[in-house]
């Protein structure tokens, strides 16, 4: 079963547990002749890497990537690219409590109901550590997309406090630990997250990812809609509970004439859109406008506030989740969502080329 | 390319255009020995059928389904089930305007950018008519799920006006033309949609689908998450711009302890959940709680209000979309979303059986 | 499960039983803009059609194909192409015996062991009638390949009597009822098959298919080898028990230097091969030489000679298979094998374009 | 593209080049709760390992396997199993000649035609070294199959010299370096292969694989036939040019009544077959009889006898392939073919369970 794979043509398969010796990803279907070295991948992993501020888990993982196959003399060969990231800072002793009782909000109980057993160390395969493999694969996808497609992910809401769209400053995104494009909001978020963390609680967030430079024509009209693939991709990220494209849920509150993206003849002879309520897709196919996706992330379920639960042997218990956790998993989801956008788009690019030769 | 297929094990493939001779679906991977006749499918098609009130398109389609293969003496044989629905009430002359200029909010421009040509009659393959095939396939999926899994779809918001959750009455859903579980809201919606229709406009909606009786253990931890498949399924429905599971975007505004679904020992020895913020999934796997999904549908793009656009030859134009259209496509999306829920769950049931024998 | 689908990018899905109302195929992933009408498909169906000589089943099926979707004004639109062929001349009464006892050499027993039930009329889904759908899909595949790729299938052995390669005459193939390129062999086969038929027996055959004009570079090095896809495609045809590429089994008896296809600089700057032991592939990838495949078909299992068997209720019995059957199923396999060659090559063409842009 | 994956439900993906740092495989879809450690895999790798006699390449590779994921406390967890095998004895300097000119019988020219570039070191991805990853995956597949399914591969012909079926002795297989079940034939093969090796030549072989204990009902009637999957699997092994099932090509020379496998009521109430011409399948589905497959392997293309060829720059040349090569690649194909049989059967087992619950 392609349980751990994603993509039709540009297809990647991830493997590895939070507390095993390593995690990794195999990228299959990559075009040949693209320049690729570890240096092209590492910067993206560094953006997602834990331990860079007090707002993410303190687990220290260098997340150094090794290319084990698929390149020759610095170019992709068209054969599978195997990327390996070693786990360095596991502390499995933290997880005795997890082995004994089910953590609410976590997959513990569902895993056991499914498999009859589970690896309790760090959530095993359910750990957000798996997303490092996606980020590595995403860096390869960016090579496929080339320079023209520019992808940017950032937080637009944290703990229910949204940014001010009027204050949007792309340059601000990398100047705070929240990938926040509104410097004032970042300051508020810092205070709110500090307070939550000290209270043994956690906060949720909303991430937005925008891909500019996507040509019109990527995607497909029915089940392999660009929208549908993006929804699957984003919803597969840990803690994501909602996905919207363009105006999303707000579009359901617009009237037809307000939601329509009117067109005028553009300088290049192609239609020029006067708005982008649709978020860059129509009928499942890219329109040439920026592709805009938002994802809602629930607050981290690993908290120090005690919650009622049940042990594996069926007794009532209270659990607090110690160990090292992100007080807001939404933060590090920004580079992961960027990677998933790149991975979906690379796949759609190859699909379009396959079917139409364009 | 599985462009027009959905599902891994219980897999269906749809075909057909709005104004061709017929549409249809092939269901592959269906278990043998299930009772299935046209009478098991037709009632679901009837619920989605147009022309039943003034709030849906006046196109008259009986949507009679024929089973062309895959059953013998009233039982499924395990071979592909081909279902055919003839198109009866096409009026292709309505579409000369559509052939000349791109309708904003529609796939016209994106289609041409992709394929270099398009079938303008009724939107061709981009027509919501394709969803009849899904509903037919969904009826087969319900046979796979059996009586224990109970799926219900309804509107919780229309034109920005939400239902009162306190007034939720399941019995009301089939007593109004909106699949609305709140009788008072249905009255308000009637007035609002009449007004919009007369003004040549259209309204959006939010549909909620709940599946009760889903056992714990369906789904998968990473890319074949139950959540992820539901997101792809729902986002593939025409006009859908957002999908959320459980509390969805609202979860991003909760604190960790408020979002956690606490557990107590249940009478059957299994954990009993005290809330369902998660919407029935954890780590991509069903928990045994009701699976809850919501989808946002934009207002119909086919409106009588003129909108600026561009012709195929690059001139500026204004377009009004005549023909017969739903003033709120969200209404008929309720039975379609139910079908997609059934189709995803049937697939997940077979996947779970394949991997674990359960 | 893609149980009834074949192909990665150019993917078709067949459905229908021998004695149901119709059979059909949905072709997904077809490039847009190709000229396609029923007239492009019918000639290929006519070549496979039964009842054209006393050497094939006397069932009278016009095998008229209808295009139900996927074209507009005579061109493919890039959306799924649904092709329908009605069954006209079923005689289900012939099959009471088949319902009672398992026919040796047929799938009767295996079907029941698998599904717990089966459709006994004409073998249901196991009938070679399914291959008409492949031939229809194959005609679409030929459009994808264009004029440059030329595919020809013919019999090289019947009842153990091989053709004389020195007497090979492509023009002879359509001048006898055996697709035989050796006129003298055709005369011998006629006598042999008449004798077998009158004795209530049947004969086997070997079919060869050659595709000329396939450019170098189609296929893939490991699991999606051109060879591997051809093997799967040919082995999926009813009654096929063996597949070989190039010299095939004979290659296992050659020495390395005799099997190597030496090269010289060609006039076009590309290597020119001095022989084609490899049958047009190396390392799973086409070399630019003709692709050569052979398939062995067992003698028809439906014979009038009594064979020992077992009834559904477990008693010993003798069975003779009455009804209308091909005394040599290998004959009509020639156009089917041609179709499968076209279908595999079209898929490989799109895969190559997807990955490399060539 | 699943270019480097095989299987629908029990799916594995291999990666790695002959002269890269490592090769490996990711097994996805494995059932949970199966005992699995390196010790379960290593013995199968040891049987395929090079350098064990003078009849295989002298490259020294310990082929030590590491399990990097997917198990916990010695049991499979249902999550992807990543297996790593390091390359130890690369000698890339041997390959300057290969980089300069295309080796006849190898994929060199086809690779460049496809990808525009290639990794010349040891054939890169086209190397038979890839098959070690299959053998590792095959060991996991055997766990899925359990003790009841018993798989045995051996050579039945080498250099055109077949074994004497009357002298078949299963115990002999592991007592000679040829996996030969006929001790007398093994002695003849030894002499023949020594002679060929000294003459700078190479020999082909035919491998037979038998799986006993396969229950009736695995496989599928049309494109996912057991036969079809086995054909794809075997034809994907390096140097294989032909595959046959049961009597294979010989069946094409039998009459219907001689080819039919008659049945009698068995002691267990199930049909008992009186012969196995079919090789354990009917209509694509297993019958409960042993599944029998044969594959023809061409002689090694890497030989010391000079062959005419062309350089990358288009000049005529003669090439001899130095380096360390198997004089008969068919020998080590026996454990690889066993692995592919196990991998196909494990997949079919899960498919049957998925669709029918059996």
Which pLDDT does position D267 carry in this prediction? 86
Q: Which residues of chain B make contact with C126, given a CB cutoff of 8 A?
A: none
Nearest CA distance, D74 vs chain A (angstrom):
11
Q: Interhelix angle for A108-115 vs B333-356, to 10°?
A: 60
Looking up tokens 């020195």 gives C166
Task: Give strand pairing partners of B16.
Answer: B23
DSSP characters over D235-288: HTSTTEEEEEETTGGGGGGSBHHHHS--EEE-TTSSEEES--TT-SEETTEE-S
Which of D31, D79, D356 shows the shortest C-beta gap to B356?
D31
Nearest Cα to Cα of residue C110 among D167, D352, A69, A260:
D352
Which of B123, B203, B314 shows the shortest C-beta gap to A269?
B314
Q: Interhelix angle for C131-145 vs C38-48, to 10°?
A: 130
pLDDT digits (tens, 9 = 90+) for C101-130: 999 999 999 999 999 998 888 788 989 999
Burial D205-219 (b: 16+ CB within 10 A, else e): bbbbbbbeebebbbb
Which of B107, B242, B307 shows the shortest C-beta gap to A282?
B107
Q: Interhelix angle for A329-356 vs B108-115, to 10°?
A: 60
Interface residues of chain C, partner chain B, Cβ below 8 Å? 1-5, 8-11, 13-17, 20-24, 26, 28-29, 32-33, 66, 68-70, 72, 75, 77-82, 114-119, 121, 124-125
Give chains near D: 3+ CB pairs under 8 A.
A, B, C
> Are B20 and C69 an interchain contact pair (Cβ–Cβ within 8 Å)?
yes
Is the pLDDT assigned to residue C92 strictly greater than 70? no
Which of D9, D11, D82 shows the shortest C-beta gap to A24?
D82
pLDDT digits (tens, 9 = 90+) for D281-338: 999 999 999 999 999 999 998 888 899 999 999 999 999 887 777 899 999 999 999 9
Q: Which residues of chain C make contact with B125, given a CB cutoff of 8 A?
A: 69, 77, 79-80
- Mean pLDDT, chain D, whole residue set: 94
Is the pLDDT assigned to residue A94 strictly greater than 70? no
> Are B160 and A252 an interchain contact pair (Cβ–Cβ within 8 Å)?
yes
Backbone angles phi, psi at B76, to 5 degrees: -65, 145
> Are A241 and B244 an interchain contact pair (Cβ–Cβ within 8 Å)?
yes
Nearest CA in chain B to C118: B77
Determine the Cα–Cα distance for residues D284 and D226; give it in Å rounded to an integer.
5
Residue D219 DSSP one-character state:
B
Dihedral sign from CA coordinates of A167, A169, A175, A176? positive
Which pLDDT does position B94 carry in this prediction? 65
Determine the Cα–Cα distance for residues D189 and D178; give it in Å rounded to an integer.
8
Nearest CA in chain D to C133: D222
Residues of chain B predicted below pLDDT 50: none
Cα end-to-end span (Å), chain A = 31
B81-86 and B75-76 beta bridge pairing: unpaired
Dihedral sign from CA coordinates of D90, D92, D97, D98? positive
- Among B300-309, C75-84, D89-98, the range with the most confident prediction by mean pLDDT is C75-84
> Are A221 and C9 an interchain contact pair (Cβ–Cβ within 8 Å)?
no
Which of D32, D221, D353 shows the shortest C-beta gap to B354?
D353
Nearest CA in chain D to A22: D68
Determine the Cα–Cα distance for residues A13 and A5; give it in Å rounded to an integer.
4
The helix/strand/coil state of A196 is helix
**Structural element, H or E, at residue B28:** strand B22-28
Q: Which residues of chain A make contact with D68, given a CB cutoff of 8 A?
A: 15-16, 20-22, 24
Q: pLDDT band at C6, cuts 50/70/90?
A: very high
Nearest CA in chain B to C16: B69
Which pLDDT does position A274 carry in this prediction? 97
Lowest mean pLDDT among B118-122, B351-355, C218-222, C286-290: B118-122
Read off the pTM: 0.97
**Structural element, H or E, at residue B150:** strand B150-158
Determine the Cα–Cα distance for residues A70 and C285; give it in Å rounded to an integer.
18
Q: Which residues of chain D make contact with C265, given a CB cutoff of 8 A?
A: 310, 314-316
Give the mean pLDDT of D134-150: 98
Nearest Cα to Cα of residue A145 among A341, A332, A303:
A341
- Which residues are CB-neighbours of B146 under 8 A, at least 6 positions away? none
Nearest CA distance, A134 vs chain D (angstrom):
15
Mutate to test the interface with D, among B354, B357, B358 (most CBs of D within 10 A): B354
Which of C102, C204, C315 shows the shortest C-beta gap to D252?
C204
Q: Which residues of chain B make contact with D358, given a CB cutoff of 8 A?
A: none
Determine the Cα–Cα distance for residues B291 and A144; give it in Å rounded to an integer.
37
Give chains near B: 3+ CB pairs under 8 A.
A, C, D
Give the mean pLDDT of A59-67: 90
Residue A156 DSSP one-character state:
E
How many CB atoms lie under 10 A from the CB of residue D323?
A: 16
Which pLDDT does position C50 carry in this prediction? 78
Residue B267 exposed, middle or buried by CB count within 10 Å (0-12, 13-18, 19+): exposed
Q: Which residues of chain A make contact with B215, given a CB cutoff of 8 A?
A: 113
pLDDT digits (tens, 9 = 90+) for B197-239: 999 999 999 999 999 999 999 999 999 999 999 999 999 999 9
Q: Interhelix angle for B38-48 vs B333-356, to 10°?
A: 140
Q: Which residues of chain A make contact with D75, given a CB cutoff of 8 A?
A: 117
> Are A354 and C354 an interchain contact pair (Cβ–Cβ within 8 Å)?
yes
> Are B355 and D221 an interchain contact pair (Cβ–Cβ within 8 Å)?
no
> Are D355 and B356 an interchain contact pair (Cβ–Cβ within 8 Å)?
no
Give chains near C: 3+ CB pairs under 8 A.
A, B, D
Nearest CA in chain A to D69: A16
Give chains near A: 3+ CB pairs under 8 A.
B, C, D
ipTM of predicted assembly, 2 dp: 0.97
Which pLDDT does position A93 carry in this prediction? 65
What number of helices (H) and strands (E) belong to chain A?
A: 8, 18
Backbone angles phi, psi at D90, to 5 degrees: -80, 145
Q: Which residues of chain A make contact with C356, given a CB cutoff of 8 A?
A: 31-32, 78
Give the mean pLDDT of C257-276: 93
Which of C32, C353, C356 shows the shortest C-beta gap to A32?
C356
pLDDT digits (tens, 9 = 90+) for C207-217: 999 999 999 99
Q: How far is CA D87 from the centre of its chain?
A: 20
Residue A107 DSSP one-character state:
S
Q: Which residues of chain C make contact with A351, given a CB cutoff of 8 A?
A: 354
pLDDT digits (tens, 9 = 90+) for C187-196: 999 999 999 9
Determine the Cα–Cα distance for residues B327 and B204; give it in Å rounded to an integer.
9
> Are D8 and A20 an interchain contact pair (Cβ–Cβ within 8 Å)?
no
Size of interface A-C (CB pairs under 8 A): 39
C31 touches C76 (CB < 8 A): yes
Which pLDDT does position C252 carry in this prediction? 98
Q: Which has more confidence, A90 or A49?
A: A49
Residue C82 DSSP one-character state:
E
Q: Which residues of chain C make contact with B21, given a CB cutoff of 8 A?
A: 66, 68
- Which residues are CB-neighbours of A245 under 8 A, at least 6 positions away? A227, A230, A231, A278, A279, A280, A281, A291, A292, A293, B235, B241, B242
How many CB atoms lie under 10 A from the CB of residue B325?
A: 22
Is the pLDDT assigned to residue C199 strictly greater than 90? yes
Mutate to test the interface with B, among C14, C33, C68, C112 (most CBs of B within 10 A): C68
Determine the Cα–Cα distance for residues D107 and B187; give it in Å rounded to an integer.
72
Which pLDDT does position A196 carry in this prediction? 95
Looking up tokens 């007034």 gives B167
Residue A251 DSSP one-character state:
G
Nearest CA distance, B338 vs chain C (angstrom):
22
Backbone angles phi, psi at C204, to 5 degrees: -95, 180
Which of A30, A355, A357 shows the shortest C-beta gap to C29?
A355
Nearest CA distance, B317 vs chain A (angstrom):
8
């Amino acid at each position: 079963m392609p349980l751990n794979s994603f993509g039709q043509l540009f297809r990647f398969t991830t493997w590895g547990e939070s507390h095993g010796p390593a995690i990794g990803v195999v990228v299959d279907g990559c075009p040949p002749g693209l320049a690729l070295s570890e240096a092209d991948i590492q910067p993206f992993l560094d953006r997602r890497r834990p331990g860079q501020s007090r707002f993410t888990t303190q687990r220290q993982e260098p997340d150094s990537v090794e290319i084990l196959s698929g390149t020759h003399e610095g170019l992709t060969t068209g054969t599978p690219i195997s990327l390996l990231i070693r786990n360095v800072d596991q502390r499995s002793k933290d997880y005795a409590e997890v082995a004994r009782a089910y953590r609410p909000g976590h997959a513990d109980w569902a895993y056991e109901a499914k498999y009859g057993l589970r690896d309790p160390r760090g959530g095993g395969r359910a750990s957000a550590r798996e997303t490092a493999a996606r980020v590595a694969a995403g860096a390869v996808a960016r090579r496929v997309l080339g320079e023209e497609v520019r992808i940017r992910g950032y937080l637009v809401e944290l703990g229910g406090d949204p940014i001010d769209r009027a204050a949007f400053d792309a340059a601000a995104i990398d100047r705070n630990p929240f990938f926040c494009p509104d410097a004032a909001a970042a300051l508020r978020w810092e205070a709110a997250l500090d307070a939550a963390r000290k209270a043994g609680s956690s906060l949720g967030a909303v991430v937005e990812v925008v891909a500019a430079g996507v040509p019109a024509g990527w995607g497909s009209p029915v089940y392999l809609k660009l929208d549908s693939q993006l929804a699957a991709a984003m919803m597969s990220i840990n803690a994501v509970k909602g996905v919207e494209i363009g105006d999303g849920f707000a579009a359901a509150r617009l009237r037809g004439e307000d939601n329509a993206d009117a067109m005028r003849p553009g300088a290049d002879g192609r239609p020029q859109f006067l708005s982008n309520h649709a978020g860059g897709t129509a009928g499942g196919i890219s329109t040439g406008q920026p592709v805009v996706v938002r994802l809602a992330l629930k607050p981290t379920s690993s908290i120090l506030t005690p919650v009622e639960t049940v042990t594996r042997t069926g007794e009532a218990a209270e659990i607090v989740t110690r160990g090292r956790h992100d007080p807001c998993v939404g933060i590090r989801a920004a580079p992961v969502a960027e990677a998933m956008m790149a991975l979906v788009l690379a796949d759609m690019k190859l699909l379009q080329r396959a079917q139409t030769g364009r």
